[in-house]
Amino acid sequence: MLSVVPTSLTVRAPAKVNLHLGVGDLRPDGFHELVTVFQALSLHDDVTLTPSDALTVRVTGEGVRDVPTDATNLAARAVAALAERYGRDPYLQIDIAKGIPVAGGMAGGSADAAAALLGAATLWGLDVGRDELDEVAATLGSDVPFSLHGHTALGTGRGERLIPALARGEFHWTLALAREGLSTPAVYRELDRLREVGDPPRAGSPDALLAAVASGDPHRLAPLLANDLQAAALSLQPGLRRTLRAGIEAGALAGIVSGSGPTCAFLCASADDAVDVGTELAGAGVCRTVRVASGPVPGATVVP
Ligand code: C5P
């Protein structure tokens, strides 16, 4: 056991894209039953925890205006939940450096929560196994367990029950970040509404997609990307159709709304192609800004 208590600790946690997002019925608890395939991408938030005399949050980076710095911040809730469970004082200063788009459908808040959980557990020297951390993670949000684990995984339940999925090689992505965010509950509500009045497409089984991910072939994966929330995100932000079209015209193999959106994720044949697609998208004026990323990458990790 290490006797020196570190003064502060930084944990890095990745963004995610849903390669497959099948949304089932609305459950009595207000969540939808999901079958989803997550992939963690090389776009990160860094969360630094420093022992303090109060639980405080500071946020830097893009989109910080929209991130709460009070007790409702998901990283603060993560620290409070862990402290409560293990009988600790939750007094940490939390510094979040955002690299993941805020309200973008890429699990930025969940990444912060996962990073805070791992960071606080490490800083406090808690004897907590991965299963216990997962349990706390699931109470914070549907995507938080995946943000801890990273890589590629099949998620069921409300997304919190994970089975690792085999992925060969590296997939290359261009991300088009939107000017305005979308609220996840609002997108799910819009899908419920669309399903009441019509029959939007359903993603079906992820089996073929999982085989494509295991093959490492982006050409095979591209036509299988599917997201039931896409129709709802497009209904709330119709301009995203233009963004999706522009990415394909720029040479992407496929484009999809990431999770509940509004970030659009474009699968590309190579890292060079991803840069080319990003350059074209930026020039076309169909998004606020672009990023390139690759996946899969690991989940929340303590930065040495
Ligand atoms: O779990 P999380 O806090 O990320 O969920 C945010 C909101 O998204 C939920 O309150 C719910 O409205 C919606 N949601 C859902 N079904 C899921 C996951 C999220 O309806 N499986």
Instruction: Look at ligand 1, atom 14, and give the residue with the nearest C-alpha.
Output: 31
Note whether 135 and 29 are same-domain residues: yes
Number of domains present in the structure of the chain: 2
pLDDT band of residue 6 (cuts 50, 70, 90) is low
253 occurs within a structural domain? yes
Q: Which residues line ligand 1 (CB under 6 A)?
A: 30-32, 34, 141-143, 158-159, 184-185, 188
* DSSP string over 107-141: -HHHHHHHHHHHHHHHHTT----HHHHHHHHHHH-
Note whether 179 and 236 are same-domain residues: yes
pLDDT of residue 3 exceeding 80, the answer is no
Q: Which of 5-19, 185-199, 216-230, 253-267 has the lowest mean pLDDT?
A: 5-19
pLDDT band of residue 197 (cuts 50, 70, 90) is very high
pLDDT at site 89: 96
Query: Is 108 part of any known ligand binding site?
Result: yes
pLDDT at site 5: 55
Tokens found for residue 275: 């840069």
- Average pLDDT in the 42-48 region? 98
- Average pLDDT in the 238-257 region? 98
Query: Is 1 part of any known ligand binding site?
Result: no
- Average pLDDT in the 201-223 region? 97
Query: Is 103 part of any known ligand binding site?
Result: yes
Task: Single out the residue of 13, 20, 12 nearest to residue 167, CA to CA.
Answer: 20
Structural domain ending residue among the three candidates 147, 166, 185: 166
Tokens found for residue 119: 């960071």
1 occurs within a structural domain? no
pLDDT at site 203: 96
Query: Is 109 part of any known ligand binding site?
Result: yes
pLDDT at site 302: 98
Note whether 30 and 158 are same-domain residues: yes
Instruction: Look at ligand 1, atom 10, and give the residue with the nearest C-alpha.
Output: 185
Pocket test for ligand 1, best of 34, 184, 189, 228 (most atoms within 8 A of CB): 184
Q: Which residues pair with 57 in a beta bridge?
A: 94
- Average pLDDT in the 81-98 region? 97
pLDDT at site 62: 84
Q: What are phi and psi of 247, to 5 degrees?
A: -65, -40
If one counts every other C-beta atom within 10 angstroms of the C-beta of residue 114, the result is 33
pLDDT of residue 108 exceeding 80, the answer is yes
95 occurs within a structural domain? yes
pLDDT of residue 287 exceeding 80, the answer is yes
pLDDT of residue 120 exceeding 90, the answer is yes
Q: Which residues pair with 164 in a beta bridge?
A: 153
Q: How many helices (H) and strands (E) does the chain have?
A: 10, 12
Which residues are the active-site residues? 16, 143
Q: Which residues pair with 153 in a beta bridge?
A: 38, 164
**CA 183 vs CA 92, 139, 230, 299: distances in Å:** 28, 19, 13, 24
pLDDT at site 71: 96
Instruction: Look at ligand 1, atom 20, and give the residue with the nearest C-alpha.
Output: 31
> What percentage of the chain has pLDDT greater than the value 70?
98
- Average pLDDT in the 94-116 region? 96
How confident is the prediction for the chain on average, in pLDDT?
A: 96
CATH number of the domain that residue 73 is part of: 3.30.230.10
pLDDT band of residue 63 (cuts 50, 70, 90) is confident
Residue with tokens 């998208």: 281
pLDDT band of residue 147 (cuts 50, 70, 90) is very high
Closest approach atom of ligand 1 to CA 184? 8
4 occurs within a structural domain? no
CATH number of the domain that residue 190 is part of: 3.30.70.890
pLDDT at site 154: 98
pLDDT at site 269: 98
pLDDT band of residue 143 (cuts 50, 70, 90) is very high
Note whether 13 and 89 are same-domain residues: yes
Query: Is 102 part of any known ligand binding site?
Result: yes
Q: Where are the beta strands (DSSP E) in the chain?
A: 9-26, 32-51, 56-61, 92-98, 152-156, 161-164, 171-177, 226-227, 254-257, 264-268, 289-295, 301-302
Note whether 93 and 18 are same-domain residues: yes
Note whether 42 and 160 are same-domain residues: yes
302 occurs within a structural domain? no
pLDDT at site 72: 97
> What percentage of the chain has pLDDT greater than the value 90?
95
- The boundaries of the domain holding residue 59 are 9-166
Structural domain ending residue among the three candidates 166, 181, 196: 166
pLDDT of residue 111 exceeding 70, the answer is yes
pLDDT band of residue 47 (cuts 50, 70, 90) is very high
- Average pLDDT in the 63-68 region? 90
Structural domain ending residue among the three candidates 166, 192, 216: 166
Pocket test for ligand 1, best of 154, 188, 192 (most atoms within 8 A of CB): 188
Note whether 109 and 255 are same-domain residues: no
- Average pLDDT in the 201-206 region? 95
**CA 102 vs CA 78, 94, 141: distances in Å:** 18, 17, 16
Is pTM beyond 0.90? Reply is yes
Note whether 72 and 200 are same-domain residues: no
Note whether 40 and 135 are same-domain residues: yes
Pocket test for ligand 1, best of 20, 21, 31, 182 (most atoms within 8 A of CB): 31
Note whether 143 and 44 are same-domain residues: yes
pLDDT of residue 160 exceeding 80, the answer is yes
186 CA distance to ligand 1 middle (Å): 10
Instruction: Look at ligand 1, atom 12, and give the residue with the nearest C-alpha.
Output: 185
**CA 17 vs CA 39, 128, 178: distances in Å:** 5, 28, 15
185 CA distance to ligand 1 middle (Å): 6
